[in-house]
Structure 1
Amino acid sequence: MTETLFETRWLGVYRIGRWDFVRRPNAESSVGVLAITREDEVVLIEQFRVPVQRPVIEIPAGLVGDEDEHRGEAIAATAHRELLEETGYYAGKIETLIVSPTSAGLTSEFTHLFLATDLDKREAGGGVGEEEIKIHLVPRAELRTWLRQKEDEGLAVDFKIHAALWCAGL
């Protein structure tokens, strides 16, 4: 039996037996998109993340079905939409790389990582609502050096970048 300890619109804390964990009341899945341009650039985003109190370099990502207008949306459709909203790129081809628990000891959420190719720039990107997303196009050959430089500057680098690259065999 699941006991609710605390819940808001976006986050809940629950207990089963002696185990406390978090869950998103409005979404059980998230997506992350490794997007590669025709020029062999990796499309990354940068945004300030309140929990870690600093900017984070990430692959475009988002929650599945977290907003009323997107309830029931297919997971791949969420990946397409998030890539477009955050970066302005539309993916001509998108394929699943892996589905994995996001943090199995903390949350029930599963993350679906995708590879997006055949990209076309259709919009400015930058996110929706109050999101303030910076877009970075990084030549794949220079990616590891670029990421180290960002870490040296005090930014955090999300591990999903490395996981997606590995799953894609890049």
Structure 2
Amino acid sequence: MTGPIITKDKVETILDKKFIRVFDLQYEEGKHYFDATRRPLDNIVATKTEEEFKTMLPDAVSCVVIVELPGKEPQLLLSYEYRYPTGRFLLSVPAGLMDPEDRDEENPIATTAIREIHEETGIVVDTKRDSVSVINPLLFSTPGMTDESNALALVILHLDNLDEMNQKGGVGSECFDGFSLIDKEKARELLKKGVDDKGHFYSVYTWSALMYFVSDMWK
């Protein structure tokens, strides 16, 4: 089955701001669907060819970060980050937008992941000691409303201690309120409860990281 073909001449710009845009996708005569996106008009997903769609890069990278310390079981590294649309600090994975210069690197997803982990945790990923890999190259967030996407990256940190860890590197609107290092038992508890220890809901990317951790798929 083939769905409606949306061509560039059938897209109307409704809102065009620095950090958000809204486009009217006219998929049939007199029928409209709206797309809220960070992407400019010439790069929205709806008008890409099949080949462009299959090879496109994500808007951002979310990281599943496993910390291995001497004498301890592996732990999942999460933090509390203020999310403006919810008005609260939510239990989150290290994540961030892919910068334009990242796209020219040999591995754009790994490059973004390494930078974001340094900014949000203070930890410098050592590619000789640690490992960085791609879990999924592109996942759509809520494609019923936006074409925004995230890659999922796995980063395994082999650390002697946590002395480097801090949240001083936040940029722009980023605001943090501490870390949460959790073992498998705690991860299962959070998954079963569906909320963090404050009783607050968390994002689907946090849920994905918890599931990936407890399933041992990271090993």
Normalized against structure 2, the TM-score is what? 0.66
Q: Secondary structure at the match of 1:161?
A: helix
Residue 175 of structure 2 corresponds to which residue in structure 1?
132
Alpha-carbon separation, structure 2, partners of 1:58 and 1:119? 21
Return the letter of the residue paired with 1:62.
G
Alpha-carbon separation, structure 1, partners of 2:183 and 2:197? 19
Residue 112 of structure 1 corresponds to which residue in structure 2?
151
Q: Is the 8 A contact 1:36 1:116 kept in 2?
A: yes
Root-mean-square deviation over aligned CA pairs: 2.7
Q: Secondary structure at the match of 2:81?
A: strand
Return the letter of the residue paired with 1:83.
I
Aligned pairs for 1:79-158 (under 5 A) are 79-91=113-125, 92-98=130-136, 99-120=138-159, 122-129=164-171, 130-133=173-176, 134-146=178-190, 148=193, 151=196, 153-158=198-203
Alpha-carbon separation, structure 2, partners of 1:151 and 1:136? 10
Q: Secondary structure at the match of 1:144?
A: helix
Decide which moves more: 23-32 or 146-155: 146-155
Residue 161 of structure 1 corresponds to which residue in structure 2?
206
Q: Is the 8 A contact 1:22 1:106 kept in 2?
A: yes
Q: Secondary structure at the match of 1:160?
A: helix
Residue 35 of structure 1 corresponds to which residue in structure 2?
65
Shift of the 112–71 alpha-carbon distance from structure 1 to 2, 3 Å rule, reads closer
Residue 109 of structure 2 corresponds to which residue in structure 1?
75
Shift of the 127–45 alpha-carbon distance from structure 1 to 2, 3 Å rule, reads farther
Q: Is the 8 A contact 1:23 1:109 kept in 2?
A: yes
Question: Stretches of 4+ moved more than 3 A in 1?
Answer: 25-28, 69-73, 119-123, 146-152, 164-169
Instruction: Give the structure, 1 or 2, with the largest relative contact order (CA under 8 Å, sep 6 or more).
Output: 1
Alpha-carbon separation, structure 1, partners of 2:110 and 2:92? 18
Shift of the 35–28 alpha-carbon distance from structure 1 to 2, 3 Å rule, reads closer
Q: Secondary structure at the match of 1:135?
A: strand
**Structure 2 segments unaligned to the other structure (5+ residues):** 1-9, 27-31, 41-56
Shift of the 89–141 alpha-carbon distance from structure 1 to 2, 3 Å rule, reads farther
Larger radius of gyration: 2
Greater strand fraction, Structure 1 or Structure 2: 1
Return the letter of the residue paired with 1:111.
N
Return the letter of the residue paired with 1:24.
R
Shift of 1:43: 0.4
Return the letter of the residue paired with 2:183.
P
**Structure 1 segments unaligned to the other structure (5+ residues):** none
**Identical-residue share of aligned pairs (%):** 24
